[in-house]
Amino acid sequence: MENGTSNGSTGGAACCNGNGAVRGPHVAMLATPGMGHLIPLAELAKRLASRHGATATLITFASTASATQRAFLASLPPAVTSLSLPPVDLSDLPRGAAIETLMSEECARSVPALTSILLDLKRTTGGRLAAFVADLFGADSLDAARAAGVRRRCIFFPTNLHALTLMLHLPELDASVSCEFRDLPEPLRLPGCVPIPGPDILMPLQDKANPCYRWMVHHGGKYRDADAILVNSFDAVEPGPAKILRQPAADHRPVVYPIGPLIHADGREDDKDALCLEWLDRQPARSVMFVSFGSGGALPTEEMRELALGLELSGQRFLWVVRSPSDEGAVNDNYYDAESKKDPFAYLPEGFVDRVTATGVGLVVPSWAPQTKVLAHAATGGFLTHCGWNSVLESLVYGVPMVAWPLFAEQRQNAVMLSDGVGAALRVPESSKGREEIAATVREVMQGEGKGAAVRAKVAELQKAAAEGLRDGGAAATALAEVVEGWTTTGGQEEED
């Protein structure tokens, strides 16, 4: 087991008695592959430590033991330690298997090893192991927690209440919807949710013949084995499903607790940050459109070129994190490795980088930028985003209006909810992502024209609501306190046969 070192961003570890013995609860937390899963789970662990005197062990998979992940885990405070599951053989899976299939198979095949780890944690924590928390693709790991006698077993859902509602209804939808979701004649209407057109429904559900579809149905059913579901969202951004999911359910689904937003605000200085932040320091307030498709997203070459020309045509300042295109694979090919495989600048329109650099209107950086620092910067006035939920929450926390350009996973569904529902984003027209449409949408948000004014006002409202929910006595803080109270009153004891 590796101990993290303090990064100064979280106060407090587990509470101690006069003899120095730890007396707070211990929580084991399983993060399925992807930094987008690990980071919010780690933020939950840090919040449990700083506000509730808990300690935590983050359990990761061997397939994601990258230098980036190791550095992140090493940055965590002493109350949050980490360990990795042993590798499992996935060589029997077909080449090109969906990410959701790979993650689900790896988790299911790791249940015996995870059971042993949890039994060891019960011994080494002196009986303080009060709960086990798995993220959304780790539903099968609840079996390991049950086998190890961990009394409180929870799902941490790092995306939103709309996606959770879909997952909870998925077994019945699987039985009642005979066609492909993309072929539904009308938008899907779920309790409290914004209607979602068939083609925008969660990407792993778009092909029922793909094994990942069956895995998603499986997870939706297994969620009901949990005692509670913790969701990285907040009521104000999803009032409809928040109200519904708080109500007692006839089908005895787990209690749902919106505890977000949980975001990673990295306070460390890094040499790689300097170029972006120094350039932003020279720009006027709220004048820059930040363009990034997350840690795993990439565009096809043609869309990449149209985006470049659209940004230039818009006349707005921009900071663009660009990656090599996805023509030879899927738009999520970078999921396990965010670094571009080839020089991304070579795929941009001829002379583009030289022109925007010479005029000072834009900065193009390869592969990576310090996203939370960019969004928090006074010069940033908009965010063209893939609508990954971590990025959405970061944008709302820092009050940055969005332009939605979804790629994969639940991102298209998020884009519908943000643009058609809550009104915190404008979506680039799906039918024609040409330079003129891109330029017009960017200008509308940056200059507050047309619908852009309403988007800016709504984002400011949600920024305030998010901050209020996290304060002592706020909705998110109270929800997490209720969860911990349930752990400490029943946790840490062997489950009865």
> For 465-481, how does the pLDDT look when each residue is reduced to its tens digit (9 = 90+)?
999 999 999 999 999 99
Which token pair is 288?
A: 């820059």
CB 347 within 8 A of CB 305: yes
Is the model's pLDDT at 276 over the cut of 70? yes
Question: Range with the lowest mean pLDDT among 69-73, 146-150, 453-457?
Answer: 69-73
- Nearest-angstrom CA–CA distance, 358 and 352: 10
Phi, psi of 270 (to 5 degrees): -140, 140
Question: Range with the lowest mean pLDDT among 4-13, 135-144, 155-164, 405-414?
Answer: 4-13
> For 224-260, how does the pLDDT look when each residue is reduced to its tens digit (9 = 90+)?
999 999 999 999 999 999 999 988 776 778 999 999 9
pTM of the full structure? 0.91
The band of 17, judged by pLDDT with boundaries at 50, 70 and 90, is very low
Instruction: Quote the Cα angle for 182-183-189, to 5°.
Output: 75
Selection from 44, 36, 32 nearest residue 294 by Cα: 36
Selection from 112, 91, 229, 101 nearest residue 167 by Cα: 229
Predicted confidence at residue 495, as pLDDT, reads: 47
Is the model's pLDDT at 174 over the cut of 70? yes
- Nearest-angstrom CA–CA distance, 48 and 488: 12
Q: How far apart are the first and last CA of the chain?
A: 30
Q: Which residue has the tokens 């999520």?
A: 332
For residues 283 and 33, which has the higher predicted lDDT (pLDDT)?
283
Question: Range with the lowest mean pLDDT among 30-44, 189-203, 296-310, 330-344?
Answer: 330-344
The band of 289, judged by pLDDT with boundaries at 50, 70 and 90, is very high
Phi, psi of 338 (to 5 degrees): -80, -10
- Nearest-angstrom CA–CA distance, 92 and 101: 12
Whole-number percent of the chain with pLDDT over 90: 80
Give me the domains of the chain, ranges plus CATH numbers: 26-262+472-488 (3.40.50.2000), 271-469 (3.40.50.2000)
> For 307-316, how does the pLDDT look when each residue is reduced to its tens digit (9 = 90+)?
999 999 999 9
> Highest mean pLDDT range out of 60-64, 269-273, 295-299?
60-64
Q: Share the mean pLDDT of the chain.
A: 90
Whole-number percent of the chain with pLDDT over 70: 89
Predicted confidence at residue 13, as pLDDT, reads: 36
Selection from 442, 441, 440, 278 nearest residue 360 by Cα: 278
Is the model's pLDDT at 16 over the cut of 70? no
Predicted confidence at residue 18, as pLDDT, reads: 41
For residues 236 and 14, which has the higher predicted lDDT (pLDDT)?
236
- Nearest-angstrom CA–CA distance, 490 and 497: 16
Residues with a known catalytic role: 37, 135
Predicted confidence at residue 1, as pLDDT, reads: 39
